[in-house]
Amino acid sequence: MNNRSIKLLQACLLICIVMILTIMQGYWALWEYRTAPSSSCLDCSFFPDLMISSLLPLLGMAVIHLVFVWIKPRLMIRAGTVALTLILCWYLIDTAIFDEREASWSTYTDLWAVSLYICALQIITFGLIAAGVYYKLYSKKTPVKRTYEE
């Protein structure tokens, strides 16, 4: 495999991993609200909301990787930046879904604090997993076979 196809494979793997982690994190954090009706659409189920919302982290990852093209930070800094970006995106997603499914039907004085209380463990756990997976995915160096004519 040449270098270009390896980078394409890494990008596709990263997209799939981010989608899977986003859905898993959302289900874990908001499990008790999965059957609650949405305030914006009474017939909408939880899974499509989470699937559509999982596009936000992909957009964030695309922007971060465009910045990485110009800056070229070390792998540890890239993994930390990716994890922080995903944590912030997941917090926004969880807050939006919590607002639609629970807070809109009740009275919450501080939506952001309640949402952080609900999803802090999950976003930190999956953020660390994402950083580890990202580090492993991009730290593997594939040897390039060269043939020399003697």
pLDDT in tens, 103-144: 666 676 787 777 788 788 888 999 999 999 989 888 866 555
53 neighbors 59 (Cβ within 8 angstroms): no
Place of tokens 């802090």: 120
Report the amino acid identity of residue 84. L
Give domain status of residue 145, yes or no: no
Q: Residue 150: pLDDT above 50?
A: no
79 neighbors 55 (Cβ within 8 angstroms): no
Give domain status of residue 147, yes or no: no
pTM, entire model: 0.76
Task: Provide the H-helix boundaries in the chain.
Answer: 3-29, 46-53, 55-71, 75-101, 111-139
What whole-number distance in Å separates Cα of residue 39 and Cα of residue 37?
A: 6
Query: Which residue range is the domain that position 120 belongs to?
Result: 3-139
Q: Per the structure, how many domains does the chain have?
A: 1
Give domain status of residue 39, yes or no: yes
Give domain status of residue 150, yes or no: no
What whole-number distance in Å separates Cα of residue 125 and Cα of residue 69?
A: 28
Give domain status of residue 149, yes or no: no
What whole-number distance in Å separates Cα of residue 89 and Cα of residue 82?
A: 11
pLDDT in tens, 46-62: 777 778 888 888 888 88
